[in-house]
Amino acid sequence: MNYNNLRKTLEANRFYYAKMFEAMRPAHEKIHTKQKQIITRFYHKAAQMEARLQAMEAEFGYKYNSKSHKFNPYHDDLGRFTFGPGGGGNADGVTDADRKNPRFQGMTDTQIKKQKFVDAHLAVAEKGAQQLNVPVQNLLGLSALESGWGVGDRFASEGNNFFGLHYPAPFSGSPMYAALSGAPVATFANYEASMNSFIVSDGNIIRGISDPTAFAEALQNSGKFGINRNGTAVSTYVPNMVSTIHGLSSYIARTRNLR
């Protein structure tokens, strides 16, 4: 089997196992041990396919970046399978109606996703940024990165957890649970409640820090953000945060022009 055929086979298998797990996950806590083992096996098979694809990327230079069926084996919540909504949507949460909206004319799906995020949350984020004495793009950037622009995982899309907060947390409702570890994750009524929880619990980490690099470094140095499960620092966290913050300027300007 040549490289391209092997790659396609691995991607198809990875998607199959991830989809099978996602379909069965809601019943995970209600079934007996043998069935749980079967469901968990789908997850680990998907992770194996992901690892092989990444190895092939390193060996052959193939850039594996499946946009519409993203799978991240590094999180034990097993909930980070991103299958887009119906009605012509995709993993970015963009629908056909969004694409036809004159406001988003000429934008890619990724750009639409980011603009929708800023449109929805800028006004609230401005209040939080004022409390913390930081630029609004810093606070928006943090929540965008932690939540995958609001559509990155079920904790954001279903639980309004935009700042990656564990349970218990101020203003949190009933927790959601990571499927394998059972770790509780905070849920909130809306973006504002999630933001206020961050301000109360972790706001002092970045209070008064305007520089994007210093802002990101302070978060990571706290040991609460940008940390791998094994306790090591995520090497891309700071540059990704800085890039996200800088990239928000044009989206913020567009939103403000509507006021």
What does the DSSP assignment read for 139-193?
Answer: HHHHHHHHHTTTTSSHHHHTT---S-PBSS-TT--SPEE-TTT--EE---SSHHH
Question: Is the Cβ–Cβ distance between 208 and 132 less than 8 Å?
Answer: yes
| CB distance 205 to 194 below 8 Å | no
Are 205 and 222 a contacting pair, CB within 8 Å? yes
pLDDT bracket for residue 76 (50, 70, 90): very low
Phi, psi values for residue 11, rounded to 5°: -65, -40
Q: Decide if 81 contacts 157 (C-beta within 8 A).
A: no
Rounded to a whole number of angstroms, the CA Rg of the chain reads: 19
Answer whether residue 106 shows pLDDT above 90: yes
Please check whether residue 126 is in contact with residue 104, taking contact to mean a CB–CB distance below 8 angstroms: no
- What top-level class would CATH report for the domain 96-257? mainly alpha
- Facing residues of 71 across strands? 81
pLDDT at 53: 62
pLDDT of residue 143: 98
For 202, left (φ over 0), alpha (ψ -120 to 50), or beta?
alpha
Question: Looking at 115-129, 169-183, 227-241, which range is the least confident one?
Answer: 169-183
What is the per-residue pLDDT for 230? 80
- Report whether 118 contacts 255 (CB < 8 A): yes
83/184 Cα distance (integer angstroms): 23
Whether the predicted pLDDT of 66 surpasses 80: no
Average per-residue pLDDT in the chain? 79
Would you say 221 and 82 are in contact if contact means Cβ atoms under 8 Å apart?
no
Mean pLDDT of 141-154: 92
pLDDT band for position 44 (50/70/90)? low
Higher pLDDT, 67 or 252: 252
What is the per-residue pLDDT for 253? 97
User: Among 209, 195, 173, 189, which residue's Cα sits nearest to residue 123?
Assistant: 195
4-28 pLDDT, tens per residue? 666 566 666 666 666 666 566 555 4
Mean pLDDT of all residues in 52-78: 47
- Spatial separation of the C-alpha atoms in residues 192 and 124, rounded to whole Å: 6
Q: How far is CA 32 from the centre of its chain?
A: 31
* Paired residues of 224 in beta bridges: none
Distances (CA, A) of 27 to 36, 138, 180: 9, 39, 13
Span 223-254, pLDDT tens digits: 999 998 788 999 999 999 999 999 999 999 99
Q: Whole-angstrom Cα distance, residue 174 to residue 253?
A: 36
Q: Which residue has the tokens 């706001």?
A: 203
d(CA 94, CA 121): 17
For the chain, the structural domain boundaries read 3-66, 96-257
Confidence of residue 93 (pLDDT cuts 50, 70, 90): confident
Residue 25's identity, in one-letter code, is: R
